[in-house]
Chains A and B, each alone.
Chain A
Amino acid sequence: MNEQVDQGHLRTPPGRLFRKYLYSIVALAFAALAINTGFDVWFSYREQKQLLAAIQREQAASAAIQIGQFIGQIENQIRWLSRLPPELSTNEDDRLNAIRLLRLSPAIAEIAELDAQGREQVRVSRRVADKVGSKADLSTSSAFRGANESRAYYGPVYFFGDTEPFMTLAIRGAGRAPNVVIAEVNLRFIWDLVAGIRVGNTGKAYVVDRMGVLIAHPDLWPALRRSDLTGHADVRAALDGVGPPSGGLVREDLSGQRVLSTYATVPSLGWLVFVELPLSEAYAPIYASIGRSTFLLVALLAIAVLVSLWLSRRMTVPIQLLTQGARRIGSGDLGLRLAIRTGDELEALGDQFNRMAAHLRDSYATLEGKVIARTSELEKARDQALAEHDAAERARSIAVQANETKSRFLAVVSHELRTPLNGVMGVLQLLDDGSLGEVQRRHLATAAASGETLIALVDAILEYARLEASTEALEARDFRLDQLIEATADLMRPQAFDKGLTFDLASDATVNTSVHGDPVRLNRILLNLIGNAIKFTPRGGISLTAAAEQLDNHVLLHVTVRDTGIGIAPDMHERIFEDFVQADDSIARRFGGTGLGLAIARRLTRLMRGELTVESKPGAGSTFTLDVPLGRAASGIAQGALPPPSRQLNVLLVDDDPVNCEVGEAILNRLGHHPTIARNGASAIELVRDQAFDVILMDLHMPDLDGVEAASRIGRLGLPKMPRIIAVTADISSSARERLAGAGIAKIVSKPILINALREAIEDDPQDEPAAVQLAAGALIDQHFLDDQKELLGAAQVAKLHQLLQQTSERLIDDIAKAAAMGDHKQLARSAHQLGSAAGALGLVSLFERCREIELAAISMSPVECQSAADELAALQQASMRALDDLLAPAGATANT
Chain B
Amino acid sequence: MRLVATLTALPLDDELTKRSMTEAATTRLGGLIAGLRQRGWVEGVNFRLEVRSSFGGADRLKTAVQELLELRPDVILTGSTGETAAVMAATKTIPIVFATSNDPVGNGFVESLARPGGNVTGFTSSTAEMGGKWLQLIKEAVPDMARVGVLFNPASTPRAGRFFLDSLEQEAVTSGVDVVLAPIGKAADIDGAISRFSEPPKAAMISLVDSFLVVNRQAIVAATAKYRVPMIYPFHYFMDAGGLMSYGPTLEVRSADYVDLILRGTKAGDLPVQSPRKYELLINRTVARSLGLTIPFTLLARADEIRE
Report the minimal beta-carbon distance from A108 to chain B, rounded to whole angstroms.
12
- Of the candidates A129, A163, A188, the one whose C-beta lies within 8 Å of that of B136 is A129
Report the minimal beta-carbon distance from A74 to chain B, rounded to whole angstroms.
15
- Of the candidates A100, A102, A162, A189, the one whose C-beta lies within 8 Å of that of B113 is A162
Report the minimal beta-carbon distance from A127 to chain B, rounded to whole angstroms.
5
Q: Does B135 contact A (CB under 8 A)?
A: yes
Question: At the interface with chain A, which of B33-41, B80-88, B274-282?
Answer: B274-282
Per-position binary interface string of chain A over residues 120-144, scored 1 when its CB falls under 8 Å from any chain B CB and 0 otherwise: 0000011111100000000000000
Residues of B within 8 A of A13 (CB): none
The CA of A232 and the CA of B124, in the complex, are separated in Å by: 32
CB atoms of B301 and A99 under 8 A apart: yes
Residues of A within 8 A of B302 (CB): 99, 102-103
- Of the candidates B124, B133, B277, the one whose C-beta lies within 8 Å of that of A129 is B133
CB atoms of A188 and B277 under 8 A apart: yes
Q: Does A757 contact B (CB under 8 A)?
A: no
The CA of A891 and the CA of B129, in the complex, are separated in Å by: 188
Q: Does A687 contact B (CB under 8 A)?
A: no
The CA of A189 and the CA of B250, in the complex, are separated in Å by: 14
Residue total for B at the interface (Cβ-Cβ under 8 A): 31
Residues of B within 8 A of A96 (CB): 297-298, 301
Per-position binary interface string of chain A over residues 163-175, scored 1 when its CB falls under 8 Å from any chain B CB and 0 otherwise: 1100000000000
Q: Does B114 contact A (CB under 8 A)?
A: yes
Q: Does A80 contact B (CB under 8 A)?
A: no
Q: Does B273 contact A (CB under 8 A)?
A: yes
CB atoms of A162 and B114 under 8 A apart: yes
Residues of A within 8 A of B198 (CB): none
Query: Which residues between 194 and 245 of chain A lie within 8 Å of chain B, taking CB atoms?
Result: 220-221, 224-226
The CA of A225 and the CA of B117, in the complex, are separated in Å by: 12
- Of the candidates A126, A129, A160, the one whose C-beta lies within 8 Å of that of B132 is A129
Report the minimal beta-carbon distance from A192 to chain B, rounded to whole angstroms.
10
The CA of A224 and the CA of B113, in the complex, are separated in Å by: 9
Given contacts A127-B129, A128-B167, whether A224 and B114 have CB atoms under 8 Å apart is yes
Smallest CB-CB A-B distances: 10 pairs? A224-B272, A162-B113, A129-B136, A129-B132, A128-B129, A99-B301, A163-B113, A162-B114, A161-B275, A163-B272
**What's the dominant secondary structure at chain A's contact region?**
mixed
- Of the candidates B271, B298, B304, the one whose C-beta lies within 8 Å of that of A221 is B271
Report the minimal beta-carbon distance from A129 to chain B, rounded to whole angstroms.
4
Residues of B within 8 A of A125 (CB): 133
B135 — nearest CB in chain A belongs to which residue?
A129
CB atoms of B275 and A163 under 8 A apart: yes
B261 — nearest CB in chain A belongs to which residue?
A221
Q: Does B127 contact A (CB under 8 A)?
A: yes
Report the minimal beta-carbon distance from B282 to chain A, rounded to whole angstroms.
14
Q: Does A95 contact B (CB under 8 A)?
A: yes
- Of the candidates B112, B261, B277, the one whose C-beta lies within 8 Å of that of A162 is B112
The CA of A864 and the CA of B308, in the complex, are separated in Å by: 194
Report the minimal beta-carbon distance from B169 to chain A, rounded to whole angstroms.
12
B279 — nearest CB in chain A belongs to which residue?
A126
CB atoms of A127 and B130 under 8 A apart: yes
Q: Does B115 contact A (CB under 8 A)?
A: yes
14 residue pairs of the A-B complex, CB under 8 angstroms, read A96-B301, A102-B302, A127-B127, A128-B129, A129-B135, A129-B136, A129-B171, A160-B275, A162-B112, A163-B275, A164-B275, A221-B261, A221-B270, A221-B272
Given contacts A99-B301, A225-B272, whether A161 and B113 have CB atoms under 8 Å apart is yes
Most chain A beta-carbon contacts within 10 A, residue among B129, B261, B272, B304: B272
Report the minimal beta-carbon distance from A680 to chain B, rounded to whole angstroms.
146
Per-position binary interface string of chain B over residues 155-183, scored 1 when its CB falls under 8 Å from any chain A CB and 0 otherwise: 00000000000010001001000000000
Per-position binary interface string of chain A over residues 96-118, scored 1 when its CB falls under 8 Å from any chain B CB and 0 otherwise: 10011011001000000000000
The CA of A99 and the CA of B279, in the complex, are separated in Å by: 13
CB atoms of A128 and B277 under 8 A apart: no
Query: Which residues between 89 and 129 of chain B lie within 8 Å of chain A, taking CB atoms?
Result: 112-115, 124, 127, 129
Query: Which residues between 789 and 806 of chain A lie within 8 Å of chain B, taking CB atoms?
Result: none
Residues of B within 8 A of A221 (CB): 261, 270-272
- Of the candidates B127, B171, B274, B298, the one whose C-beta lies within 8 Å of that of A163 is B274
CB atoms of A100 and B301 under 8 A apart: yes
Residues of B within 8 A of A528 (CB): none
Q: Does B15 contact A (CB under 8 A)?
A: no
Per-position binary interface string of chain B over residues 252-282, scored 1 when its CB falls under 8 Å from any chain A CB and 0 otherwise: 0000010001000000001111110111000
Report the minimal beta-carbon distance from B38 to chain A, rounded to whole angstroms.
13
CB atoms of A163 and B261 under 8 A apart: no
Most chain A beta-carbon contacts within 10 A, residue among B112, B270, B277: B277
Residues of B within 8 A of A220 (CB): 257
The CA of A224 and the CA of B277, in the complex, are separated in Å by: 12
Extra contacts besides A96-B301, A128-B132 (17): CB < 8 Å:
A92-B298, A103-B301, A106-B278, A126-B279, A127-B133, A128-B129, A128-B167, A129-B174, A159-B114, A162-B114, A163-B114, A163-B274, A164-B277, A186-B277, A221-B261, A224-B272, A225-B270
Residues of B within 8 A of A130 (CB): 136
Residues of A within 8 A of B114 (CB): 159, 162-163, 224-226
- Of the candidates B113, B271, B298, the one whose C-beta lies within 8 Å of that of A99 is B298
Report the minimal beta-carbon distance from B132 to chain A, rounded to whole angstroms.
4
Report the minimal beta-carbon distance from B107 to chain A, rounded to whole angstroms.
15
Residues of B within 8 A of A127 (CB): 127, 129-130, 133, 279
CB atoms of A224 and B274 under 8 A apart: yes
The CA of A876 and the CA of B113, in the complex, are separated in Å by: 163
Residues of B within 8 A of A224 (CB): 114, 272, 274
The CA of A100 and the CA of B132, in the complex, are separated in Å by: 21
Residues of B within 8 A of A92 (CB): 298
Report the minimal beta-carbon distance from B245 to chain A, rounded to whole angstroms.
15
Residues of B within 8 A of A159 (CB): 114
Report the minimal beta-carbon distance from A63 to chain B, rounded to whole angstroms.
21
Per-position binary interface string of chain A over residues 585-605, scored 1 when its CB falls under 8 Å from any chain B CB and 0 otherwise: 000000000000000000000
Report the minimal beta-carbon distance from A120 to chain B, rounded to whole angstroms.
15
CB atoms of A95 and B275 under 8 A apart: no
The CA of A163 and the CA of B114, in the complex, are separated in Å by: 6
Report the minimal beta-carbon distance from A219 to chain B, rounded to whole angstroms.
9
The CA of A161 and the CA of B112, in the complex, are separated in Å by: 10
Per-position binary interface string of chain A over residues 63-102, scored 1 when its CB falls under 8 Å from any chain B CB and 0 otherwise: 0000000000000000000000000000010011001101
Query: Which residues between 276 and 308 of chain B lie within 8 Å of chain A, taking CB atoms?
Result: 277-279, 297-298, 301-302, 304
Residues of A within 8 A of B112 (CB): 162
Report the minimal beta-carbon distance from B296 to chain A, rounded to whole angstroms.
10
Residues of B within 8 A of A226 (CB): 114
Residues of A within 8 A of B274 (CB): 163, 224
The CA of A186 and the CA of B298, in the complex, are separated in Å by: 23
The CA of A221 and the CA of B260, in the complex, are separated in Å by: 13
Query: Which residues between 657 and 683 of chain A lie within 8 Å of chain B, taking CB atoms?
Result: none
Given contacts A99-B298, A103-B301, A186-B277, whether A128 and B272 have CB atoms under 8 Å apart is no
Per-position binary interface string of chain A over residues 20-38, scored 1 when its CB falls under 8 Å from any chain B CB and 0 otherwise: 0000000000000000000
The CA of A96 and the CA of B299, in the complex, are separated in Å by: 9
CB atoms of B298 and A161 under 8 A apart: no
Most chain B beta-carbon contacts within 10 A, residue among A102, A125, A127, A186: A127
The CA of A100 and the CA of B133, in the complex, are separated in Å by: 17
Residues of B within 8 A of A106 (CB): 278
Per-position binary interface string of chain A over residues 141-161, scored 1 when its CB falls under 8 Å from any chain B CB and 0 otherwise: 000000000000000000111
The CA of A99 and the CA of B296, in the complex, are separated in Å by: 13
The CA of A159 and the CA of B275, in the complex, are separated in Å by: 11
A220 — nearest CB in chain B belongs to which residue?
B257
Report the minimal beta-carbon distance from B36 to chain A, rounded to whole angstroms.
16
The CA of A130 and the CA of B274, in the complex, are separated in Å by: 25
Residues of A within 8 A of B261 (CB): 221
The CA of A224 and the CA of B112, in the complex, are separated in Å by: 12
B113 — nearest CB in chain A belongs to which residue?
A162
Most chain B beta-carbon contacts within 10 A, residue among A102, A125, A162, A226: A162
Residues of A within 8 A of B270 (CB): 221, 225
CB atoms of A161 and B133 under 8 A apart: no
- Of the candidates A99, A129, A189, A225, the one whose C-beta lies within 8 Å of that of B115 is A225
